[in-house]
Structure 1
Amino acid sequence: MTAPVSPAVPVASIPGVDDALQARVADGMTAVAARMLEVVDHHDPFIAEASGHLAAAGGKRFRPLLTLLASEVGSGWNDRVVDAAVGVELTHLASLYHDDVMDEADLRRGVDSANARYGNATAILIGDLLFGTASSVVAGLGAEAVRIQAETFVRLCAGQIRDDRQTLDAAPASAALAGDADDPAAVTAYLQILADKTGALIATSARYGAMFGGCDAATVRTLTDYAERLGVVFQLADDLLDVASQADTSGKTPGTDLREGKATLPVLYARTSTDPADARLLELTRGPIEDPDDLAEALELLRGHRAMGQARAHAARVADEARVLLDGLDPTPAVDALRALVDGVAERSV
């Protein structure tokens, strides 16, 4: 049997959630956790244990929560909404197995990463297995759901490929990925990576919830657009936390992006500086940082740089765009909760 899937994140973590809505969504999250335990199980004990490793470690369960909340804008969650939530969460978990191999990360959710625990080859294969499991669950929701899952998977992979190829080299192959942060092309290219590698799956989470929760087509489109922007804010917050957090509080290895030489938004803003005092920071962030002492120095310098404030302000602007989209929906407790969710995600970057 697989390791037990940890309890879902309490809906009370979203400030101001209506009590009745909170109870319904909490029940839905319990149903999602039970269904995940069922579909991740495997007759081979090792495969079962490895497949459930990250699920058992917990996590925010942000995507299934969003699926359930979006369904509540319509008629509420049901078995199809639960399966949709399981499908997006398994797709997310599968991507984490692959991400940790690419990042050579040691920690994920406060425990050993899958690659550290099982080795790179097994971690990749377990990720593939979970992608297959997600597809099997989604297949039960019909051809349209399968098409959406496939398109989402393509965007996720394309965004991850572009992100992986992005470096801070002084003369990269793609100027659009490395230019001045004041250059609209550079920021646009960076935000498109985030929209693809993170926003696409979060958008699909809300889209599925709205679809299978009985929302009309216009509401489905609005919630999909809202959630893609929410996903960009979510990733911007993660990128800021990669600089600002400590391993003992975040459960992740800080400085992963800097170590790999990825041009996240704080670094793009830092690279616009002409202040001689920033010369050392610019030198350190020209490419991958292999020396642990150099990485610690780069983190310290970037944490104190105004570029962090500029990146946080950018995240706040995208969060505002998400909130404005919700203004077109009838006010309900579910819409209020979705608006509060934007606030909670944005505050992670503060």
Structure 2
Amino acid sequence: MSQPVRDNHRPASIDALSALVADDMQAVNALIIEKMQSPVALIPQLASHLIAAGGKRLRPMITIAAALLSGYRGADHAKLAACVEFIHTATLLHDDVVDESNLRRGLASANAVFGNKPSVLVGDFLFSRAFELMVEPGSLEVLAILSRASAVIAEGEVLQLVTTNDLSTDEDKYLEVIGSKTAALFAAAAEVGGVIAGRPAEDNQALARFGQELGIAFQLIDDALDYAASQAALGKTVGDDFREGKITLPIILAYAKGSEEERVFWRRTMEDLEQDDSDLAKAQKLIEAHGTVAETVERARQRGEIAKQALNRFPDSPLRRALCEAVDFAIERGH
């Protein structure tokens, strides 16, 4: 089955996907607001700081879209989509504490406003709410997929911590990190949409593949933008990965291609974290000279094509086309 061609004269967006899932997402958003309530006032206050800050809700939209694409008729997909968003939000709260981030989606991060301890504990609360939601449909398969994804995400975060400041990290290890910490939730978000609809295992595996490859592409672009975007466009501080010594693909490729003098620079700044005010600009120049942001974006395009091809098991439809355009959007954003 051939892949439908998008009009490349206009920028990719998620507007078509948003419109097709709008009614269902209203139910998801109502559930999110309901489930983040607590008699402990700080919990909804802190949770709403991040959730109300926006975000495109791409992951829950993928759950809704996968369910609709699979022919689902019911209300449980909204519960699973809300569950996915709570898992995502909980990981953001924890990530910002670990990374000591001050910005999230262009606003002060929750830990910057409320402190680290409340952010970690409210993240735990949101994980608990996610598990309440994932058991409600009564599907052991759904529970297995989402609970396993939660464990894999945590493993990915720990693996990233282990590889930080370690320039011996290769591309395979890096892909293992982002496949766990980012792509696992995209994969689960898509797969449970098919499972809840009772689709054959092959279809559910195709949806999981779509989500996994989209998630890898999404994180590749995030890591490229940390060196190439403006702070206003990125919504968080540019160069955070560099300042923290995170070993991402633009760095792995630049280090491999660099001269010994350049490698001395990378070891000083990334492994020893001895950085001065001019080092980020120098890092960006070296990355640009070796074309490693462009290479990272190209890797993302390749993974995006695999994601779109995974949907070929499903008949052509506006929803399938919108999901494919969402892949393009994830890759083109910020460029």
Note if 1:208 corresponds to 2:192: yes
Partner of 2:6: none
Partner of 2:5: none
| Number of matched pairs | 322
Distance of 1:187 and 1:77 partners within structure 2: 42
Do the aligned residues in 1 keep the contact of 2:18 with 2:61 (CA within 8 Å)?
no
Q: How does 1:186-335 map to 2 (within 5 A)?
A: 186-275=170-259, 278=262, 282-283=266-267, 285-287=269-271, 289=273, 291=275, 293-302=277-286, 304-305=288-289, 306-335=291-320
Partner of 1:341: 326
Do the aligned residues in 2 keep the contact of 1:285 with 1:298 (CA within 8 Å)?
no
Query: What letter is aligned with 1:159?
Result: G
Partner of 1:154: 151
Query: What letter is aligned with 2:148?
Result: E
Distance of 1:33 and 1:254 partners within structure 2: 30
Distance of 2:310 and 2:20 partners within structure 1: 24
Partner of 1:6: none
- Tell me the CA shift for residue 334 of structure 1: 1.8
- Tell me the CA shift for residue 99 of structure 1: 0.2
Distance of 2:217 and 2:110 partners within structure 1: 26
Find the partner of 1:94 among 90, 110, 119: 90
Partner of 1:9: none
252-261 or 302-311: which moved more? 302-311
- Tell me the CA shift for residue 76 of structure 1: 4.2
SS of equivalent to 1:126: helix
User: Relative contact order, CA 8 A, sep 6+: which one is greater?
Assistant: 2
Note if 1:56 corresponds to 2:40: no
Q: Give the alignment's TM-score, normalised by structure 1.
A: 0.85
Find the partner of 1:167 among 161, 164, 167: 164
Q: Give the alignment's TM-score, normalised by structure 2.
A: 0.89
Distance of 1:83 and 1:197 partners within structure 2: 22
- Tell me the CA shift for residue 206 of structure 1: 0.5
Do the aligned residues in 1 keep the contact of 2:65 with 2:319 (CA within 8 Å)?
yes
Partner of 1:75: 71
Q: CA offsets per residue over residues 275-322 of structure 1, 9 Å max, x none?
A: 478467535544264646045324532553311111112112211221
Distance of 2:14 and 2:270 partners within structure 1: 39
- Tell me the CA shift for residue 24 of structure 1: 4.2
225-234 or 320-329: which moved more? 320-329
Q: CA offsets per residue over residues 64-87 of structure 1, 9 Å max, x none?
A: 111111112122463200000000
CA spacing shift, 1:231–1:334, aligned 2, 3 Å: same
Partner of 2:3: none
Query: What letter is aligned with 1:99?
Result: D
- Tell me the CA shift for residue 246 of structure 1: 2.3
Distance of 1:238 and 1:77 partners within structure 2: 35
213-222 or 78-87: which moved more? 213-222
Do the aligned residues in 2 keep the contact of 1:222 with 1:325 (CA within 8 Å)?
yes
28-37 or 82-91: which moved more? 28-37
Partner of 1:8: none
Do the aligned residues in 2 keep the contact of 1:284 with 1:298 (CA within 8 Å)?
no
Query: What letter is aligned with 2:107?
Result: V
Do the aligned residues in 1 keep the contact of 2:179 with 2:215 (CA within 8 Å)?
yes
SS of equivalent to 1:52: helix
Do the aligned residues in 2 keep the contact of 1:68 with 1:76 (CA within 8 Å)?
no
91-100 or 51-60: which moved more? 51-60
* Structure 1 unaligned residues grouped into runs of 5+: 1-11, 179-185
CA spacing shift, 1:224–1:144, aligned 2, 3 Å: same
Distance of 2:103 and 2:73 partners within structure 1: 34
Distance of 2:141 and 2:196 partners within structure 1: 11
- Tell me the CA shift for residue 217 of structure 1: 2.4
Partner of 1:112: 108
Note if 1:33 corresponds to 2:29: yes
Q: CA offsets per residue over residues 183-220 of structure 1, 9 Å max, x none?
A: xxx22221111111111111011012222234332211
Do the aligned residues in 1 keep the contact of 2:242 with 2:280 (CA within 8 Å)?
no
* Structure 2 unaligned residues grouped into runs of 5+: 1-11
Q: What is the aligned-residue RMSD (CA, Å)?
A: 2.2
